[in-house]
């Protein structure tokens, strides 16, 4: 599941689920876990928030990702 060691694995708010980039091995960037909290909005798109480190405040909103593009690049992770 990406590099989850040391990350805050508690959802930031109700309705958020954990997602990971489908090609994390190919897109490895220093310091990027490839994991995001995401939840669907009323339009069906995804509000996303990156994971934060353990002991840090919850992540802040990082925008809205269109449904088609998000589902093309990310998959839900079972906790």
13-45 confidence digits (pLDDT tens):
899 999 998 887 766 566 667 888 999 999 999
Residue 27 is predicted with a pLDDT of 61
Strands annotated E in 2-72 = 17-21, 35-40, 46-50, 64-65
Residue 57 is predicted with a pLDDT of 62
């Amino acid at each position: 599941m990406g590099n989850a060691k040391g990350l805050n694995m508690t959802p930031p708010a109700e309705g958020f689920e954990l997602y990971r980039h489908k090609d994390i091995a190919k897109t490895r960037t220093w310091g990027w876990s490839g994991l995001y909290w995401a939840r669907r909005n009323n339009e069906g798109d995804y509000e996303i928030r990156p994971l934060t480190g353990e002991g840090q405040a919850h992540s802040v909103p990082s925008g809205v990702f269109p449904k088609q593009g998000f589902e093309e690049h990310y998959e839900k992770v079972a906790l």
